[in-house]
Copies of this chain bind each other. A is one copy, B any other.
């Protein structure tokens, strides 16, 4: 029996449909076959989507699962009509938006999700600017404009600073700088002096020495840099330094960048937060 097919049908990118669908599908120990049908913004394309979905259902001999985030009523009704009884359709808007209209006492405007026309909005431009800022301030490259940072991450090399910075920029529109902690910081036993005026924006990342050594060995096998002894030394020094400086920090060893970013947002609570 093939893996159950799941369709994500949307007038836009389908990202909302897929994020939500994935969260639900993750509850099952089944591998699903994902089929994205984005940009369904006309009745024609809706009919085409219905044909594709029903055809799959016939071949597989079971009801396909369909997640939709369609807001155009005409397009939605083609999908609803075409898919009813022959698929497992989960239309997220009609289930949630309608009750909300009642509660708020206002009509919704039925526009396509958060990404549409984004490029024209100041919010979107700020987000792109945040990505550029975070790239320019990666790995302590640039001290200039440091005061414009919303968050400054510190930690030893390969503790997860760069992916976390880029995630904070891309998803939350935050300007995130990051600084590696290096031997001269350990000798001085202090965080890099350039950072001290911005202490309340600083967040530390640490990592188990064993995992760090693994990661570094992928990059520079059998180097002193990657040796467990050196990783132990650097991590111990960095943690001691963060404790002394009284900054907030966490261990990234068992955390995804999404979890790290969520914790940072809670702790730093930046004034400027786009999403």
Enumerate chain A interface residues (CB-CB to B < 8 A): 4, 12-16, 18-20, 22-24, 26-30, 36, 38-39, 63, 65, 69, 71, 88, 90, 92-93, 95-97, 99-100, 103-104, 106, 108-111, 113-120, 124, 128, 131-132, 135, 138, 162-163, 166-167, 170, 252-259, 261-262, 265-266, 275
4 A-B pairs with least C-beta separation: A118-B256, A27-B108, A16-B23, A13-B262
Residues A258 and B13 in contact, CB atoms below 8 Å apart? yes
A17 to B58, CA, bound (A): 33
Query: A85: shortest Cβ distance to chain B, in Å?
Result: 12
Residues A65 and B163 in contact, CB atoms below 8 Å apart? no
Query: A19: shortest Cβ distance to chain B, in Å?
Result: 5
Which residue of B has the minimal Cβ distance to A118?
A: B256
Known: A16-B23, A27-B71, A167-B170. A99 touches B104 (CB 8 A): no
A36 to B265, CA, bound (A): 10
Known: A114-B26, A259-B115. A96 touches B90 (CB 8 A): yes
Known: A119-B256, A163-B170, A167-B170. A97 touches B24 (CB 8 A): yes
Known: A19-B19, A106-B30, A167-B170. A24 touches B92 (CB 8 A): yes
Most buried by B among A95, A163, A265: A163
Known: A15-B262, A120-B254. A92 touches B23 (CB 8 A): yes
Known: A27-B93, A97-B27, A119-B254. A88 touches B63 (CB 8 A): no
